[in-house]
């Protein structure tokens, strides 16, 4: 039985709206991750050093910072509090230019920075699989998001 034109239009509208939702989730995850990831991935020419976590509050931790190369140690540097940041820990960090904020450096820092994108990929996989009925693409998207989350878990 052939479908009428209104049924085809509804089907195309559903597919376009689901694709827009999936794209919005992925773009939002990327945008949320890029704020931190840019400092880790494009760290050449930025100030590197070691932060010793001295005190943690609700959302941030602070401590003395010892830069690599010239320059003296500074106090009061701030890092976002996460499960991987504990008092007394020594962390390799990169300083966000023009601020007293630091982010984790290296592979653990890069994986931690991309956590929002990993979550967004998992959410988008549900939309791709259920709304777009593209199961192979959904499994691939979910695998990429899951790999990112599991990699960050083990790296930190």
Q: What is the pTM of this model?
A: 0.85
Please count the other Cβ atoms lying within 10 Å of the Cβ belonging to residue 96. 17
Segment 38-43 shows an average pLDDT of 92
Segment 18-39 shows an average pLDDT of 96
Domain coordinates of the chain in residue numbers? Answer: 8-40+114-155, 48-104
Q: What local confidence, expressed as pLDDT, does residue 86 receive?
A: 81
Segment 16-25 shows an average pLDDT of 97
- Give 77's pLDDT tier (boundaries 50, 70, 90): very high
Instruction: Supply the DSSP string of the chain, one letter for each residue.
Output: -PPPHHHHHHHHHHHHHHHHHHHHHHHHHHHHHHHHHHHHHT-TTS-EEEEE--EE-SSEEEEEEEESSSS--EEEEEEE--TT--TT-EEEEEEPTTSSEEEE-HHHHHHHHTHHHHHHHHHHHHHHHHTS--HHHHHHHHHHHHHHHHHHHHH-
Rounded CA separation 112/149 (Å): 8
Mean pLDDT taken over the chain: 92
Q: What local confidence, expressed as pLDDT, does residue 1 receive?
A: 59
User: Could you report the per-residue pLDDT of 91-149, keeping only the tens digit for each?
Assistant: 999 999 989 999 999 998 999 999 999 999 999 999 999 999 999 999 999 999 999 99
Q: What local confidence, expressed as pLDDT, does residue 85 receive?
A: 80
Q: What local confidence, expressed as pLDDT, does residue 82 receive?
A: 81
Q: What local confidence, expressed as pLDDT, does residue 137 receive?
A: 96
Q: What local confidence, expressed as pLDDT, does residue 2 receive?
A: 66
The HSE-up count of residue 67 (CA atoms within 13 Å, CB side) is 14
User: Could you report the per-residue pLDDT of 1-17, keeping only the tens digit for each?
Assistant: 567 888 889 999 999 99
Rounded CA separation 115/149 (Å): 6
| 106 φ/ψ sector (left φ>0, alpha ψ -120 to 50, else beta) | left
């Amino acid at each position: 039985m052939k479908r009428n034109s209104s049924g085809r239009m509804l089907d195309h509208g559903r597919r376009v709206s689901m694709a827009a939702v999936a794209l919005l989730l992925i773009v939002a995850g990327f945008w949320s991750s890029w704020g931190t990831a840019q400092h880790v991935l494009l760290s050449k020419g930025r100030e590197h050093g070691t932060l010793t976590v001295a005190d943690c509050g609700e959302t941030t931790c602070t401590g003395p910072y010892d830069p690599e190369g010239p320059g003296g140690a500074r106090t009061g540097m701030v890092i976002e509090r996460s499960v991987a940041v504990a008092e007394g820990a020594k962390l390799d960090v990169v300083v966000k230019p023009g601020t007293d904020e630091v982010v984790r450096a290296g592979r653990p820092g890069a994986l931690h920075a991309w956590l929002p994108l990993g979550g967004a990929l998992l959410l988008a996989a549900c939309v791709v699989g259920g709304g777009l009925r593209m199961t192979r693409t959904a499994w691939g998207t979910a695998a990429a998001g899951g790999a990112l989350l599991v990699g960050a878990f083990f790296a930190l």
